[in-house]
Amino acid sequence: MDKRRKRVALMILCATLGACSRHVQGPQDARVSVQTSQAVIRTIPEVESAIGSVGQGLAPIISAPIGGQLTRILVVPGQSVRSQQRLARLRPTPRRHKAQPAEDIRAPGSGVITQILAQVGAPVRAGTGLFGFAGPHVRQARLPFPLSVASQLHIGESVLLHSPLAPRSPIAGVIVRLDRRPSDNVVYVIADLPPRQGWTPGSPVRADVVVGSRPALLVPRTSVAFRLAGTVVFVVDHRQVRMQRVKIGPRFLQDVVITQGLAAGTVVVTDAGPLLADGTPITVVGTQKP
């Protein structure tokens, strides 16, 4: 090979090596395209949670249809009964001094007699409660909340109920009774459950109740990442990001509460993906409105 050809080959080799060198150095200077968002303060519901269990609920009390006197009681507390089974015998109050035929008090459906509310021989009026009755379709959740939140709990209030055994969880229940136990420092919330599959007596249930509201610092859930340094967000610092350790609280819709490590108004990367590290150069391609 003559000198001219060697010189040309050497020039081609140098150009190739230069291109390779530039190709290797390129990714180090490449910028990651990101979207950003601001950490904002919003008022969010303050939720108290409790773990309890599902129990057999009480159907409406079986009452006397007319006034009279109980002559017989045919059941005892805890007894299972079938639909239309005789529970008691009632002698009606005579009308115009004429005796009326005795009337049977019957079960409205299959279930369990939970309590006896009247005595044999006692006079009763129409509508007087005679028996407590638990039907198989009625369920209640019993949930121990701290006594400190008792003043924020009210009968008729909705409660969100979750169960790992119920395919259509969560559902909304209604508080029907509050059982305060100062000696145990708890208040038991009794909530009626709508008829659903999976809510069987004895099954576990978690309840969430709104007990107030409070301001909280929020960022999108996707802004939070987990690195060796801990829980972090990536703060935009001119044309690069700075990794900032934070402490987080509960989630709220599509956001997460920041309890420590970040100030309101701080601009953070919306999607803290695996390409980001402390000092990564970035190009902002969009800003998410707070």
Structural domains in the chain?
31-44+215-287 (2.40.420.20), 48-56+137-213 (2.40.30.170), 62-134 (2.40.50.100)
pLDDT tens, the chain, 290 aa long: 555 654 555 455 455 444 444 444 444 458 999 999 999 999 998 889 999 988 866 556 888 888 999 999 999 988 888 889 999 999 998 877 677 788 999 988 777 887 899 999 989 998 898 998 876 666 788 999 999 999 999 888 889 998 887 767 788 888 888 999 999 999 999 888 776 666 777 888 899 998 888 999 999 999 999 999 899 999 999 899 999 999 999 888 899 999 999 999 999 999 998 999 999 999 999 888 76
Say how far apart CA 30 and CA 24 lie, in whole Å. 11
Q: Count other Cβ atoms within 10 Å, centred on residue 53.
A: 14
User: Residues 131, 68, 127, CA angle at the centre, nearest 5°?
Assistant: 45
SS3 for 190-212 is EEEECCCCCCCCCCEEEEEEEEE
Say how far apart CA 69 and CA 74 lie, in whole Å. 15
Look up tokens 């409790």; give the residue: 50
**CA torsion 164→167→168→171, rounded to 10°?**
-30
Contact (Cβ atoms closer than 8 angstroms) between residue 257 and residue 264:
no
What pLDDT, on the 0 to 100 scale, is given for residue 47? 86
Look up tokens 């009308």; give the residue: 95
Burial 109-134 (b: 16+ CB within 10 A, else e): bebbbbebebeeeeebeeebebbbbb
